Amino acid sequence: MTKNSDELIEVKNKVMSNPEIILDDVEVMRALFNTYSNAIGENVIDLRSVAIEKLESKIKRAETTNRSIIAAAYENISGYELIHKAILLILETDNFEDLQLQLCRTVQQTLKVSHIHIMIEQEKPEDSVIKSNSYISVVKAGSVKNYINLENELLQKTVTMRRVSSPNESVYGEKAHSIKSEAVIQLDLREKKLSALLIIGSNTATQFEPKKGTELLAFFGSVIERVIRRWTI
């Protein structure tokens, strides 16, 4: 076997093991195209069609990526708009009764969720000035931690998003059967030294998935906690 034959076999083996080294090289492909244009015979392969197919594949992947990026950006913008509208409604409230009415009548619809509930701990819930209802409840000490850990979540997380298989009826009431996912946001009431939660439930399993961002929900929770700090509990 001649030296040239050995070199040819070596080149062939390299190309066969990794065709991309040719298909991704513009100069090599141009040389092959020029050769193809003047060639005749059964041994000539239509490299133009191969390159076109490869290019079409790259374009399709790029289009898919672009659509995903655009969809994510649109979702983020929409999310900001919804949260901002809900915050403006919350800032209009002057007491827990007003807050309950806003949550019930407007905030839920604005955020496009099934239910919103605020849970506040007190040593003696029965002595609270807050009247518990479907949207705001006063609970005994330890209830917040128990709720967060309902599905083995860590207490250190400010916002927990998860799917739920057995929604809490004391939180969701008659809507419990339709709740598929929820966001659980810890509220810091500062000098009141009370543990509290903002719980948002959805009838869509994918609305509050763990992989999604929590910044907007954390911001929404921080607004509510600052509003509540002004009131007597």
Measured CA distances, 78 to 10, 116, 140 (Å): 57, 19, 37
Contact 197, 186 (CB under 8 A): yes
What gap in Å lies between CA 29 and CA 46, rounded to an integer? 12
Contact 99, 93 (CB under 8 A): yes
| pLDDT value of residue 222 | 93
Q: Where are the beta strands (DSSP E) in the chain?
A: 115-121, 136-139, 159-163, 181-188, 195-202
Give the domains, in start order, of the chain with CATH numbers: 95-228 (3.30.450.40)
Q: Which of 90-104, 152-166, 184-198, 209-223 has the lowest mean pLDDT?
A: 152-166
Residue 190 Ramachandran class (φ > 0 left, ψ -120 to 50 alpha, else beta): left
| pLDDT value of residue 133 | 86
What gap in Å lies between CA 133 and CA 200, rounded to an integer? 15
Instruction: Kindly report, residue by residue over 74-99, the tens digit of the pLDDT.
Output: 555 566 788 888 899 999 999 999 99
Mean of pLDDT values over 180-202: 90
Burial class of residue 233 in the structure, from the number of CB atoms within 10 Å of its CB (0-12 exposed, 13-18 middle, 19+ buried): middle
Chain-centre distance for alpha carbon 116: 19
- Model-level pTM greater than 0.75? no
Instruction: Kindly report, residue by residue over 130-164, the tens digit of the pLDDT.
Output: 888 889 999 998 899 889 875 555 556 789 999 99
pLDDT at 120 exceeding the cut of 70: yes
Mean of pLDDT values over 107-116: 92
DSSP for residue 108: H
Contact 201, 115 (CB under 8 A): yes
pLDDT at 201 exceeding the cut of 90: yes
Instruction: Kindly report, residue by residue over 20-74, the tens digit of the pLDDT.
Output: 776 667 677 666 666 655 554 545 455 566 666 777 777 777 777 766 666 555 5
What gap in Å lies between CA 233 and CA 125, rounded to an integer? 10
pLDDT at 224 exceeding the cut of 70: yes
| pLDDT value of residue 152 | 53
Please report which confidence band the pLDDT of residue 4 belongs to, taking 50, 70 and 90 as the band edges. low
| pLDDT value of residue 2 | 59
Give the DSSP H or E segment for 98: helix 96-102
| pLDDT value of residue 7 | 77
Pairing of strands 136-139, 115-121: parallel
DSSP for residue 107: I
How many other β-carbons are positioned within 10 Å of the β-carbon of residue 37? Answer: 8
pLDDT at 107 exceeding the cut of 80: yes
Residues with Cβ within 8 Å of residue 226, at least 6 apart in sequence: none
Please report which confidence band the pLDDT of residue 202 belongs to, taking 50, 70 and 90 as the band edges. very high
Tokens of 117: 């509930």
How many Cα atoms occupy the beta-carbon half-sphere of 13 within 13 Å? 6
| pLDDT value of residue 150 | 59
